[in-house]
């Protein structure tokens, strides 16, 4: 049916949409390109899939190289394969979405001149079709917060209900009733595990600290509606 000699050759890359919540904004990890094309332009981090490496493994490797961390939630976002999305050759890119807590400022990777967290509302033109990929990633993240416990992926290991609520408010761009939100998230089986500790870093009554539970789906879901 086919043989190695008669298939059209493609390059396969992975691109990463790495999101975090910091400074009251949803931010994406972007790198400034050091080479042509789009030299000097912001782009998503990413790179080539190696010959003996699965595509998923390439995403994990690139994420570690760009952020210095591992163990983050990482999922496939989609594959982008327009013929001329890279002006030099035929490149098919598999995009991944990663949700991260507020990490230290990322180090510039080996491939990039600079790396930085940029609020998604302030992102301008990006290299290649990365603006589209980023938009798809942001929309996916917003949707996933409704019915998965992924909001906790934006929080550090121990967090308060108010911090989790801030994540939802920032990602969705709405305000949520603190009391209803508290009742809701503490009522979802397996979402939050009390650590017993508490903190009063915000000056009021100390808030209980929680760790992520082992729930993988949120039932009932958190509906994305006002509440202010």
196 lines the binding site for DNA (CB under 7 A): no
Nearer to a copy of itself, 68 or 81 (CB): 81
CA–CA separation, 168 vs 21, rounded Å?
Answer: 10
For residue 151 the two structure tokens come to 């909001």
Q: Tell me the number of residues near DNA by CB under 7 A.
A: 26
Provide φ and ψ at 106, rounded to 5°: -65, 150
Query: Which among 47-55, 164-172, 189-197, 203-211 is the span making contact with a copy of itself, rule CB under 8 A?
Result: 47-55
- Among positions 34, 40, 173, 206, the unique one binding DNA when judged by CB under 7 A: 206
In this structure, the dihedral spanned by the alpha carbons of residues 212, 165, 118 and 54, taken in order and rounded to 10 degrees, is 30
34 lines the binding site for a copy of itself (CB under 8 A): yes
Q: How far is CA 162 from CA 13, 28, 34, 146, 150, in A?
A: 38, 22, 40, 17, 16
CA–CA separation, 186 vs 210, rounded Å?
Answer: 10
Nearer to DNA, 72 or 188 (CB): 188
Nearer to a copy of itself, 13 or 160 (CB): 13
Site for a copy of itself in 77-96 (CB under 8 A): 78-83, 88-90, 92, 94
CA–CA separation, 147 vs 207, rounded Å?
Answer: 25
68 lines the binding site for DNA (CB under 7 A): no
- Among positions 25, 41, 56, 108, the unique one binding a copy of itself when judged by CB under 8 A: 56
What's the DSSP call for residue 123? Answer: -
Site for a copy of itself in 58-77 (CB under 8 A): 76
Site for DNA in 149-178 (CB under 7 A): 160-162, 177-178
Q: How far is CA 62 from CA 90, 129, 192, in A?
A: 21, 19, 30
Nearer to DNA, 10 or 219 (CB): 219
CA angle 25, 29, 32 (to 5 degrees): 125
Supply the Cα-derived Rg of the chain in whole angstroms.
20
139 lines the binding site for a copy of itself (CB under 8 A): no
Chain residues binding DNA by CB under 7 A are: 160-162, 177-180, 182-184, 186, 198, 200, 202-208, 220, 223, 225-228
Chain residues binding a copy of itself by CB under 8 A are: 1-4, 7-12, 33-35, 48-56, 76, 78-83, 88-90, 92, 94, 111
């Amino acid at each position: 049916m086919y043989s190695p000699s008669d298939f059209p050759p493609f390059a396969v890359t992975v691109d990463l949409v790495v999101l975090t919540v910091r400074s009251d904004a949803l931010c994406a990890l972007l790198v400034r390109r050091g080479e042509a094309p789009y030299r000097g332009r912001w782009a998503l981090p990413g790179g080539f899939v190696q010959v003996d490496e699965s595509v998923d493994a390439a995403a994990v490797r690139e994420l570690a190289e760009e952020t210095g961390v591992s163990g983050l939630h990482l999922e496939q976002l989609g594959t982008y394969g327009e013929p001329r999305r890279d002006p030099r050759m035929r490149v098919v890119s598999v995009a991944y979405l990663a949700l991260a807590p507020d990490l230290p400022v990322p180090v510039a990777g080996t491939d990039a001149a600079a790396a930085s967290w940029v609020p998604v509302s302030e992102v301008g033109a990006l290299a290649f079709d990365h603006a589209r990929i980023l938009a798809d990633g942001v929309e996916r993240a917003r949707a996933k917060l409704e019915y998965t416990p992924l909001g906790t992926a934006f929080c550090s290991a121990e967090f308060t209900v108010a911090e989790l609520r801030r994540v939802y408010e920032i990602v969705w761009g709405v305000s949520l009733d603190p009391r209803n939100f508290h009742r809701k998230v503490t009522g979802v089986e397996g979402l939050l595990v009390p650590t017993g500790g508490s903190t009063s870093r915000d000056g009021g009554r100390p808030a209980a600290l929680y760790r992520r539970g082992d729930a993988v789906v949120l039932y009932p879901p958190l509906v994305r509606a006002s509440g202010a």
